[in-house]
Amino acid sequence: MKPDGFPYAAPWWLPGGNAQTLWAALASRRHFGPVPRWTRSRWIAPDGDFIDVDQAQHASPTGAPLLVLFHGLEGSSASQYAVAFADFAAANGLAFAVPHFRGCSGELNRAPRAYHSGDFEEINWILKRFAAENPGRPLLAVGVSLGGNALMRWAAEMGASASQHVRAVASVCSPLDLAAGGHAIGRGFNRLVYTRMFLGSMVPKALKKLEQHPGLFDRDALLAARNLFEFDNLFTAPLHGFRDTQDYWSRASAKPVLHQIRVPALALNARNDPFVPAVSLPTPQQVGRHVTLWQPAQGGHVGFPVSHGALGVPGHVRAMPEAVGHWLLAHL
């Protein structure tokens, strides 16, 4: 483990994980260059459903690496971290793409399923297609929060064959132990703020899914769900082949299989992340030699804001993509 691989120090005016998380998401500066512009493509999935893929329009040299970002729960190419990574890619001459998980691009997907934290089969066909369509570009992949857990699950499942598709992977603030993260987000301030925010987006989409596929789940029970455990028990787990939430969180977690990874992999987690208890983070003894652990004391959940300007405000969030991006580039 190299906890100082990203020697992050939070601004004095943002004490604590919640402040660092919320400022980054709501008020931070995301880019130094022009606002990222996107070209959207629709990809048909192996089961006939679709995802939407946004590719940054900035120029990159022929043969330059392609950086693929897998977003977090209810995220998109508009999320602050996606914009910041796009800005990093533009500044460093990299091609950049954000594949949206099903239902996250602004249009509900068609199949009686959505996406989940251990969706490594989805990661697999997406990365294989990127590799096939960009034969002259080395692929690098980063996953944020949920997307990072799914990416690490993919790397573990693929083992040595992952190197046929990517040169290196990274996860940022991912709940690699889903049970620990799921229980943490369901308590106290987290439940009042973050759980309410996520359910405020996920429940309406689930109800639209029920209109598409009547009888898919119990509508009244879903409306009564007050935390992610209950939502996953009624929606996420059964729709994706899991017995219940406990089965889903157990089987989908990347932490137990990190030792199987055979490509360079970085796991960055702040130890004050409100969603991911520090006690649940992997230790050097639990990962193989291919996995690097960065666990700075501060940063929040996909926060890592940095002071900017004479008075230290407003902060920006380009430092984390800079550190993670250069780590990935070092493994080409």
Per-residue pLDDT, 132? 97
Same domain? 24 vs 99: yes
In a domain, 106, yes or no: yes
Same domain? 165 vs 258: yes
In a domain, 111, yes or no: yes
| 319 in Cβ contact with 5 (< 8 Å) | no
In a domain, 197, yes or no: yes
At 46, which helix (H) or strand (E)?
Answer: none
The closest of 177, 146, 158, 178 to 282, measured between CA atoms, is 177
pLDDT in tens, the chain (332 residues): 455 688 899 988 899 999 999 999 998 899 999 999 999 999 999 999 999 999 999 999 999 999 999 999 999 999 999 999 999 999 999 999 999 999 999 999 999 999 999 999 999 999 999 999 999 999 999 999 999 999 999 999 999 999 999 999 999 999 999 999 999 999 999 999 999 999 999 999 999 999 999 999 999 999 999 999 999 999 999 999 999 999 999 999 999 999 999 999 999 999 999 999 999 999 999 999 999 999 999 999 999 999 876 555 567 899 999 999 999 999 99
Domain boundary, last residue among 251, 271, 300: 251
Same domain? 112 vs 52: yes
Same domain? 157 vs 192: no
The closest of 135, 154, 169, 174 to 325, measured between CA atoms, is 169
One of 52, 87, 119, 273 is an active-site residue; which one?
273
Let me know if 301 is a catalytic residue: yes
3-state secondary structure at position 68: strand
Domain boundary, last residue among 229, 251, 273: 251
The closest of 103, 108, 95, 123 to 39, measured between CA atoms, is 95
Domain boundary, last residue among 228, 251, 274: 251
Per-residue pLDDT, 313? 53
In a domain, 11, yes or no: no
| 120 in Cβ contact with 154 (< 8 Å) | yes
Per-residue pLDDT, 108? 97
In tens, the pLDDT along 43-53 reads: 999 999 999 99
Residues of the domain holding 198:
185-251
In a domain, 5, yes or no: no
Q: How far is 31 from 39, CA to CA, in rounded Å?
A: 18
| 198 in Cβ contact with 73 (< 8 Å) | yes
| 312 in Cβ contact with 24 (< 8 Å) | no
Per-residue pLDDT, 293? 98
Q: How far is 92 from 150, CA to CA, in rounded Å?
A: 26
Same domain? 114 vs 48: yes
In tens, the pLDDT along 179-194 reads: 999 999 999 999 999 9
In a domain, 78, yes or no: yes
One of 117, 145, 174, 280 is an active-site residue; which one?
145
User: CB under 8 Å to 320, separation ≥6 — which residues?
Assistant: 6, 8, 81, 84, 172, 268, 299, 302, 304
Let me know if 253 is a catalytic residue: no
- Angstrom CA distances, 311 to 8, 117, 299, 306, stand at 19, 39, 20, 12
Same domain? 246 vs 260: no
Q: Domains in the chain: how many in total?
A: 2
Same domain? 85 vs 216: no
Backbone angles phi, psi at 318, to 5 degrees: -85, -15
One of 71, 290, 301, 316 is an active-site residue; which one?
301
Per-residue pLDDT, 2? 53
User: Does the CA dihedral 156-158-159-161 come out positive or negative?
Assistant: negative
Same domain? 322 vs 215: no
Same domain? 308 vs 166: yes
Same domain? 59 vs 104: yes
Same domain? 234 vs 284: no
Let me know if 145 is a catalytic residue: yes
Per-residue pLDDT, 68? 98
In a domain, 117, yes or no: yes
Q: DSSP state, 148?
A: H
In a domain, 218, yes or no: yes
- CATH assignment at residue 72: 3.40.50.1820
Residue type, 32: F
pTM to 2 decimal places? 0.96
Same domain? 133 vs 219: no
Per-residue pLDDT, 314? 65
